[in-house]
Structure formats: C-alpha cells, structure tokens
Structure 1
C-alpha cells in the first residue's frame, strides 16, 4: 500500500490552473524579493520558461491584492480570449485583420470583467453612470479600421466561332431528278469575365486609441481611488507576428492611466514586444522604458544559490502535501524538515531531487511523483530519484526536441563535447552571440542559464553567458568515472580547477568556451 506521503506526492497537480484559489494561496512559496517586486505598481513583464510558476505567481498576487487593498483584478488567459478555431493563426486572413480581432477581443475581455465587477459591487457603484460609460467603451472598441491598398485585376475572355456551309444535293428518281440547296450557318460567341481584388503593400491596423483611452479614463475616475490590475497570462501563446500590435494597444490605452497596472507573463524566447516601422518609429512596448522585467529563472537556478533552491523546493513540497493531507484528514508532518525526513532515505536524496529539477518547479514535481510511484510504500531513495529524472527527461524533454532534428543533433554534439570530452556540466558562449538552436534547447528546458555574465582576464571586456546541461543528460553516468567533475573548468594560479558556483571573473575561462560555429562547420 502506498504511504500517505507518497500518495500526496502523486496527487500534486502539475499546472497552477488546475488549482482553486484557496489551494494556490496555501501553496505559493516566495523566493527572494520576488513577491515584493511583483507588488510594485509599475507595469511589468514576468519572464519564465514553462513550469517556472508564472501563472501561480500572478494568481497569488491577484488574490493578495484583492484581499488587502480591495482593488479590481482582471486575470486573462490569452489562450482563452475571443475568437476560437485558431483564427489568430489563420492564413486566410491578412495580418491586419487578425491583429484587429486580437485587439478587439482583448478590450472586450476587459470590458466584460469590468461589467461583472460592477454587477457584483452595485452597493457602491452607480450602475446608471458606470453602465453608460461601459456602453461607450464597448462602442469605442468596435471602431477598428483596417487600412490596406488594393489593386483590381480584371480578366476578360471572348471566343467567337462562325461557320457557313452551302451545298447542292441531287437525288435521281425513275421519273425525275430532285435537287436541294443546303445552307448551314453556325455562329457561337462565348465571353468570360473574371474580377479579382488583391491586397498589396504594407498592411496597417489603425485603432481609435484616442477614444478608447478617453473612455477608460472616465471609467477609472469612477473607480478611483481603487486601482485596476490587469494580468495577462500566456502571452507567448499569441502568434509572434501579432504580439507587437497588442503591446502597442497596452502602451497607448492602459499605460498612460495612473491607476492601472499591467502585469504580463511571458516566455522570453517566444515573445516579440516591438516592431520597428522606420528609422525612429515602432509599434509595441519598449522594454525597460515602458515596463520593468523580472525573470523567474534567475531566482531558482540551483548552481546560483544551493541553499536558496533547496529551501524553496522544501517549502513548496511541504505546502502542497499539507494542503492535500489536510483535505483528506490525514496526519500532517510538523515542518518541511520533518516531511523530508519522513519521505526520503537521506537528506542527500532530497538534494538530488533539487538538482534534477534544475530550478523548474513543474519538472521537480513531475520527477517527485514518478519517484514516489517507484517507492510505493517505502522511502524514496537516490536510485528512485535518478530513474525518475531519467524517465522524465526522455519522455518530456528529449521527445519534444526530437521534432527538430537539427536541435537534437546539436544537443548530442554538446553532450559529446562538454560531458564526454571535458567532463563538465556547463559551457560558455559569448553574450553578444545569438544562436536560434541554443535558445530552442533553453526553451525546452534542456539547457539552463546559470549566470548571465562572467569574464576572463585573458580576454578583457569580453563577457560570456554560462549554460548548464540538464541533469537528465548525464544521470546515467552516476557512480562512474565519466560523471562530470564540476560545472566547468578554469585556469587558476594553481592550475586547472573545476568550478561549482560561478563567479564574475577568472584568470582564464578558455577551457569552458563552446564554439557553436564549429558544430555548424562539422554538420555542413
């Protein structure tokens, strides 16, 4: 029979949207100054790869703000708004038409939420005044004009056929000869006309931003002194070609209003907030100027701060288990430390789970659930963690990368070059060098950014980014002589040394640098 703790591990949901607000509040774990930064009233973009906790953070933030300040919260999952059937990705519609629908759908979502708020709080909202303003708002968001030049092409086809045949026929009979004059006249006329209208030039989307902004300003004057918090989740699910248009809408209609705050959850490698339209012009948001940016990956990477990462995962697991066991009226461990002692054979086993998670909560929860399934009615062992991590890597990560043959080939080259030949877990790439496939592997959670900037004294002024390779890539080498000796090697006064926690500056880092161009040369 599976132990109650292992049962709780198996029941931990993997996605925040599966939880109700009560569970989200009870299981949220702050890390460093993250929540303090999120409560800032400035507009922010919260970056993070899949599974890092963006949705959980936004929903917890909304609940806490509503509870403490009684402000208005609008949470919108951008996968669910507006038109269905993949219309935003449709090739049958022009870019401007798809962008227009996205803008209207987003504003309509805001309108509907404000209407719902007014109905639920009619005791202090003047519905007659507020309702008329919402009607005005609804009218303004429909005034979207798609501008594009067109050319007309007319095809005309005419066919004529004319035949005239004349002949004399004679027929001989016994008593006489008969003659007949035959004449045939055929005249056919066929005329086809085809009319086709084709768009050309640069498609333009023009929204009456001025009227939308003015109407929203009136609405916010009624709501004041309350603040409206708009939280847009799953930004990166919007086609990248449309994202700058939605960003421009936010910048011109919501950002200027003093009592509106916008928070956006996005995946950095799948986001496109700005589109240049000329030498000085652009559509969208200027990152850093219009918004502050936070990155969840920077808060929870194991090799950056081991103690912080272990403390985070210990509290995260404890709060989930506590919530599950309390609802089932089972005995609950007194503390996070007691839970770890009761669930794992030794503390090092839990440390290995944290390392395997690579700073991604959803990956950690999935590995833990698979390890608990293997353990059944026993404590979770080191072998359970390693087997679960290997299985999760093969099923969830390597399998997704296999759809991109070149990315898979690069991954295998990196594993061979870094793990096999250098016996390291990480490598360095120049900060100013961008490689699509490296970003692809990072987005797939197979590569992880450990540190954004380090340098070597042998190359003054040149900065490098440190990427670590996922635990699942080398877990099979555990307890063998081929297991990585450290994060990466550097040259010191005493000779070559392996680094575990990267610093900002080294004597020489040439041994750790990976030349991705060499992969391109070898494979071409």
Structure 2
C-alpha cells in the first residue's frame, strides 16, 4: 500500500492554473524577495522558462492586490481568440492579424472589468465607470470599409394626357342654339433617385488615442484610482505579432497614471520591439518603457547555491504536501525536517531531487511524483530519484529534442565535445552570442544557465555564460550503452542500482571548456549532401 506521504507527492498539481487561488497563495514560497520586488507600481517583465512559477507568481500578486481592494486583471494569452488559428495564419496579412489580436486583448480587459462591476460593485462601480466602459468598448470596435465606391443616379419621367369634348343642340319654334364645351389636361412628373454602392472589405481598426482616453476614465473611477494588468503566457503570441501588441501597451496603457503592467514571458521566445529608423521603434523598449525586474531562471539552481536551493525546495515541497495531506485528512508532518526524514531514506536523497530539477519547480514536482510512485510504500532513495529523473527526461525533453533534427545533432555534438573530450558536465558560451539551436535546447530545459559573467582563463576581457547539461540527460547517458567508457570512470554502464555519481559542476575546471559553435556548423556542413539545406 502506498504511503500517505508518497500519495501526497503524487497528487501535487503540476500546473498552477489547475489550483484555486487560495491553494496557490498558501503554497507559494517567496525567494530572493521576488514578491516584494514585483509589488512595485513600476511596469516590469518576469522572465522564466516553462515550469519556473510565472503563473503561480502572477496569481499570488493578483490576489494580494485584490485583498487591498485594488482592481487587478490577469490575462492568459493562451485563452484569447484564435491564438493558434487566425493569429498565426500566414495567409492573412500581418496588419489584420495584429489588429484582431489587439481587439481580442482589449475585449478581454473590457469583459473582465464589466464582470467585476456586475459581481462586486464595491470594487468596480458600474454607475461611475459605465459610460467609460461603453467608450472603451466602442474605441476598439471601430470598423472601416476599404474598397471602391459607386454612385448611381437615375431619372424617371412620367407624362399623362386626357381630352373631353361636349356638343349640345337645342331647337324650338322661336329659336335654335348650339353649345359646345371642350376640355383637355396635360400633366407631367419627373423623379430623380440615387443609389450609393460600396464594394470592399470591412477592416477593424484600433484607435490608440480613444482606447487610452477611455481606459484613463475607467481607472479614475476605481477606488484609489489604480489598475494592475497582469499578462501571462506572453510568448504564446506569434513572434511577429508581439511587437504590435507591445506597441499598443506602450502607447495606450503604460502612460496612464494609476496603471501598472506586469508581463510574464519566456525570454528566448519573446520579441518586444522592432527597430524602425523611419517610423520609430515599434513596441516596448526594455529598460526604458519597462524594467526586467525578475528572471526566475537565475534562482534555485543547485550548482549556483546549494544551501539556498535546498532551503527553497524544502519549503516548497512541504507547503504542497501539507495542502494535499490535509485535504486527504492524513496526519501532516510537524515541520520540513520531519517530512524529509519520513519521506526519504537519507538527506542526500532529497538533495538529489533538487539537483535533478535544475532549479525548475515543475520539474521537481514531476520527478518527485515519479520517484514516489517508484518507491510506493517505502522511503524514496537516491536510486528512485535518478530513475525518475531519467524517465522524466526521456518522456518529455528528449522527445521534444528528437523532433528537432538539428537540435538533436547539436546535443549529440555537445555530449561528444563536453562530456567525452573535456570530461565536464558544463561549458562556456560567449555572452551576447545568440544561437537558435542553443536557445531551443535551453527552452526545452535540456541546457541550463549556471552562471553569468564568467571569465575564461585563456581569453581575458571576455565574459561567458556557463551552461550545464541536464541532470536527466546525464543519467540517461551514463546508464545506457551510450556511456562514454573510460572517460569519466563511471563504472559499469549497465548498472541498475544507480549507485553511480552524477558529478557536481566545478566552475574552475571548465574555464577552458569554451564552446566553438562554428566548429559544430562546419562539421554539419561537411556531413550534409550537396543540394541539401541545414536547419
């Protein structure tokens, strides 16, 4: 029979949107004073890969503002209109797709505010804000017909004629007379009619000035004159439309006194501005219009700060486990230490969970759930954690990478160059260099940023980013026939007890391990047949 603690581990929700606000507020664990930083009224961005807690953070921020009596709107960009349909349809001109997106965003804001007014008039007074809400609705619903116009004029003439003649004769003995009477009529009527025909297409348009004016009036009617706009899943918007949406915010929303905007996005899949020398920049300039307040990928990586990472994940796991065990009416461990002692065979088994998740809370919860299922009625061991990490990697990350041919080739090349030749688990890449394949592997959480601003031993003056290869990828490598025999002295690759050690990253030992991407692309070009294309 599965132990109550392991059952609780398996029941923890893997996504924040599947839990109610009260549970999210209770299970939230702050780190690095992130919540305090985001509570500032300044506009700011929240960067982080999938699973780092962006939605959880925004939800807690919204509920905190609502408890203060402030109106807060949280938008999930995945739920707007036709994100995967009309917005991304290349057959539709980008201007039309962008306009439809802007209309959907404004309609969502309008709908949320109207819903708040109907549900709680103490927060949004419909009597005070009603007229402004109507203006806001009209401002983003303007329609213009673009096409040709034809005017037709028709003249119709009508004529009628009638005649009547009467003749009378009278006679008598004394006299005779003749009387005649004639009458004729002639009538005419002319009618002129005109018809205007418009042949064209209805084009929706958004007037930024009208939107801004109406929204300003709405905000002024709120208690305290404040509105928080929290935009989640920004990176779900097609990349070519993101600057247009950002430009709407910059022109119509950001300048309004009393409005605070927070945007959660994946850095590698976001484009906030398009430089345009003629028309001016389109979009939001990071650092000028908004600040990049938080990057969740910079926190909680085990190799960065072991103590801080373990402390955070102990608190996180304890909060979630208590919530699940209380709901199941099971006995809750008295504190974090009691939970770790009861659930794991030894302290370093939990530390292995922290290492395996590479600083991503959702990965930690999934690995912990799989390890608990493997352990069943027993305490979780290091072997359970490593097996769970390997399965999580193969089932999610490796599957995504395998579907991208060039990214798979780069990962294979990294394993050869970094693990086999350099005998390391991490490497350096010069800061400022952007590569789509590296970004893809990072976005899929196969590569992780361990440190920024690192210097290399042989290249003074340059700064590098330290990337580490995913823990699950490494475990999969050393536990299969693909293991680099004789390189890391890892023993029998077929061993099933997972007694092998996944090495810690020694930053001093990798200062010569600089990744040479031109070398990779050169090797790929040599292996591609003539007439084929790379990428």
Q: TM-score, normalised by structure 2?
A: 0.81
* 1:264 aligned residue: 263
1:382-461 correspondence runs (5 A): 382-456=382-456, 458-461=458-461
For residues 438 and 76 of structure 1, the distance between their equivalents in structure 2, rounded to whole angstroms, comes to 30
* 2:505 aligned residue: 487
For residues 423 and 144 of structure 1, the distance between their equivalents in structure 2, rounded to whole angstroms, comes to 64
2:220–2:226 contact (8 Å) kept in structure 1: no
Deviates more, 1:205-214 or 1:243-252: 205-214
Structure 1 position 458, deviation (Å): 4.1
For residues 465 and 83 of structure 2, the distance between their equivalents in structure 1, rounded to whole angstroms, comes to 40
Q: Which SS does the other structure have where 2:224 is aligned?
A: coil
Structure 1 unaligned segments of length 5 or more: list them: 151-196, 491-497, 500-508
For residues 280 and 512 of structure 1, the distance between their equivalents in structure 2, rounded to whole angstroms, comes to 44
1:110-189 correspondence runs (5 A): 110-123=109-122, 126-143=125-142
Max radius of gyration: which structure?
2
Q: Which SS does the other structure have where 1:450 is aligned?
A: strand
For residues 17 and 126 of structure 1, the distance between their equivalents in structure 2, rounded to whole angstroms, comes to 28
Structure 1 position 369, deviation (Å): 0.6
* 1:228 aligned residue: 227
Q: How has the CA–CA distance of structure 1 residues 123 and 359 changed in structure 2, closer, same or farther, with 3 Å as cutoff? A: closer
* 2:26 aligned residue: 26
Structure 1 position 131, deviation (Å): 1.3
Measured against aligned partners, the alpha-carbon deviations of 1:221-263 in whole angstroms (never above 9, x if no partner) come to 1115142111111111110011111101111111011211111
Q: Which SS does the other structure have where 1:352 is aligned?
A: helix
Structure 1 position 206, deviation (Å): 6.2
1:144–1:206 contact (8 Å) kept in structure 2: yes
Measured against aligned partners, the alpha-carbon deviations of 1:339-373 in whole angstroms (never above 9, x if no partner) come to 01100000011111100000001111111111101
1:45–1:291 contact (8 Å) kept in structure 2: yes
Q: How has the CA–CA distance of structure 1 residues 485 and 115 changed in structure 2, closer, same or farther, with 3 Å as cutoff? A: closer
For residues 91 and 219 of structure 2, the distance between their equivalents in structure 1, rounded to whole angstroms, comes to 38
Q: How has the CA–CA distance of structure 1 residues 89 and 125 changed in structure 2, closer, same or farther, with 3 Å as cutoff? A: closer
For residues 280 and 452 of structure 1, the distance between their equivalents in structure 2, rounded to whole angstroms, comes to 35
For residues 3 and 300 of structure 2, the distance between their equivalents in structure 1, rounded to whole angstroms, comes to 29
* 2:170 aligned residue: none
* 2:360 aligned residue: 360
For residues 456 and 407 of structure 1, the distance between their equivalents in structure 2, rounded to whole angstroms, comes to 26
* 2:514 aligned residue: 513
Q: How has the CA–CA distance of structure 1 residues 139 and 274 changed in structure 2, closer, same or farther, with 3 Å as cutoff? A: same
* 2:16 aligned residue: 16
| RMSD between aligned residues | 2.4
Q: How has the CA–CA distance of structure 1 residues 400 and 85 changed in structure 2, closer, same or farther, with 3 Å as cutoff? A: closer
1:449–1:467 contact (8 Å) kept in structure 2: yes
Structure 1 position 267, deviation (Å): 0.6
Measured against aligned partners, the alpha-carbon deviations of 1:275-320 in whole angstroms (never above 9, x if no partner) come to 1232571111001111111210012222111111111111111111
For residues 363 and 417 of structure 1, the distance between their equivalents in structure 2, rounded to whole angstroms, comes to 27
Structure 1 position 207, deviation (Å): 3.1
Q: How has the CA–CA distance of structure 1 residues 371 and 221 changed in structure 2, closer, same or farther, with 3 Å as cutoff? A: same
Q: How has the CA–CA distance of structure 1 residues 146 and 337 changed in structure 2, closer, same or farther, with 3 Å as cutoff? A: farther
Q: How has the CA–CA distance of structure 1 residues 123 and 389 changed in structure 2, closer, same or farther, with 3 Å as cutoff? A: closer
* 1:327 aligned residue: 327
1:53-68 correspondence runs (5 A): 53-67=53-67
* 1:292 aligned residue: 291
1:12–1:365 contact (8 Å) kept in structure 2: yes
Q: How has the CA–CA distance of structure 1 residues 485 and 411 changed in structure 2, closer, same or farther, with 3 Å as cutoff? A: same
Q: Which SS does the other structure have where 2:455 is aligned?
A: strand
Q: Which SS does the other structure have where 1:460 is aligned?
A: coil
For residues 456 and 123 of structure 2, the distance between their equivalents in structure 1, rounded to whole angstroms, comes to 63
2:142–2:205 contact (8 Å) kept in structure 1: no
* 1:283 aligned residue: 282
For residues 326 and 215 of structure 1, the distance between their equivalents in structure 2, rounded to whole angstroms, comes to 47
Structure 1 position 512, deviation (Å): 1.5
Structure 1 position 127, deviation (Å): 2.8
Matched, 1:40 2:40: yes
Q: Which SS does the other structure have where 1:13 is aligned?
A: coil
1:46–1:296 contact (8 Å) kept in structure 2: yes
Q: TM-score, normalised by structure 1?
A: 0.83
Q: Which SS does the other structure have where 2:92 is aligned?
A: coil
Structure 1 position 432, deviation (Å): 2.5
For residues 376 and 341 of structure 1, the distance between their equivalents in structure 2, rounded to whole angstroms, comes to 16
